[in-house]
Amino acid sequence: MLKCRCSRTATQDSRHYTQKAPNINDFFATCFRNELFAGFGPMIILIAEVILQMRVYALYGTNKKLFVVFVLISMALFGFNILQMSTLFCESIYSNECDSGGCFLKRDHYRRAFIPPFDDQPFVCIDALPISGIGWAVTSFVELLLFLLVTFKAQVGKVHRNVLHGPGIFSDTNDIATAMARDSVAYFAAIFTACLAGTILVFTSERNVFGRFSEFFNFIRNAYEIIVITIMTILAPKLILDLRARYYGTEEVKSTQLSWNFEAPVHSAICRDSGTEHTLN
């Protein structure tokens, strides 16, 4: 996910300067030290995006075109995560320095354009840079695409169910793809809404739309990123448990006792009479 949109600035005067190559130690000391959170956060979201793409791909079976599209999307998202950690998206702050060989521009430190430098503050090492509006917008677009795909698959499954069982008649089908599509609609809608809210939050705070509240929104952007990651990590296992429970049935199902043993009978019923149990296939 893309972190920010920054540009290079330099001090201008009448003398001619030559650019001095930046010191890699200065980069790690002044820019990379507060990038760990900002790098790991988008990487976690990227991993979640890949898992969600695999889930949608499973819904569509062996659709090679969809597989190619998902591979390209994953590579693009991974590229954004790599670029955000490089100097290409850092603003270069220069100062004049002269020696016997002449004057040149010395790169003092790196920072983001919309984040003030915190070099004079004691807690700069724990400062974290938030995801930019562009990063949230890209994530929202991917989530919208996945949401539309699962919605389409769920509607197709509903049409097929109506053809087989009649309109308005609910059938607890054993089709795993149909069950996954139906359960995934609410999940993808929730994730898309959360990412869209993050996009609106960042863009409105950067443009000071809400006045004094925009500064408050600036401070909660990192907290909101953690909220989105938490929502993803909570709902994803729930989808898996719901799928297993749907396969094994909802009667007396405990998540700790579920397994992926698909040799179990698909159609079964348990009859209890006089203290004995019989399984009918």
Higher pLDDT, 31 or 147: 147
For CA atoms 270, 273, 277, 281, give the dihedral sign.
Answer: negative
Would 45 be classed as within a structural domain?
yes
Per-residue pLDDT reduced to its tens digit, 134-153: 778 888 888 899 889 888 88
Sequence-distant (6+) residues with CB within 8 A of 45 are 1, 139, 228, 229, 232
Per-residue pLDDT reduced to its tens digit, 151-160: 888 887 776 6
Contact 240, 260 (CB under 8 A): no
Label the pairing between strands 269-273 and 276-280: antiparallel
Are 165 and 53 contained in the same domain? yes
Distances (CA, A) of 82 to 29, 50, 110, 199, 274: 19, 16, 17, 21, 66
Would 61 be classed as within a structural domain?
yes
d(CA 41, CA 39): 6
For CA atoms 103, 109, 112, 114, give the dihedral sign.
Answer: negative
Are 29 and 167 contained in the same domain? no
Would 99 be classed as within a structural domain?
yes
pLDDT category at 38 given cuts 50, 70, 90 is low
Per-residue pLDDT reduced to its tens digit, 177-195: 667 777 778 888 888 898 8
Contact 46, 76 (CB under 8 A): no
Are 168 and 233 contained in the same domain? yes
Are 207 and 229 contained in the same domain? yes
Domain count, the chain: 2
Would 159 be classed as within a structural domain?
yes
Are 142 and 232 contained in the same domain? yes
Helix (H) or strand (E) holding 93: strand 91-99
- Residue 244 is predicted with a pLDDT of 63
- Residue 100 is predicted with a pLDDT of 60
- Residue 225 is predicted with a pLDDT of 82
Higher pLDDT, 69 or 109: 69
What is the domain range of residue 239?
36-84+130-248
Would 218 be classed as within a structural domain?
yes
pTM over 0.85: no
Would 210 be classed as within a structural domain?
yes
pLDDT category at 49 given cuts 50, 70, 90 is confident
Sequence-distant (6+) residues with CB within 8 A of 102 are 18
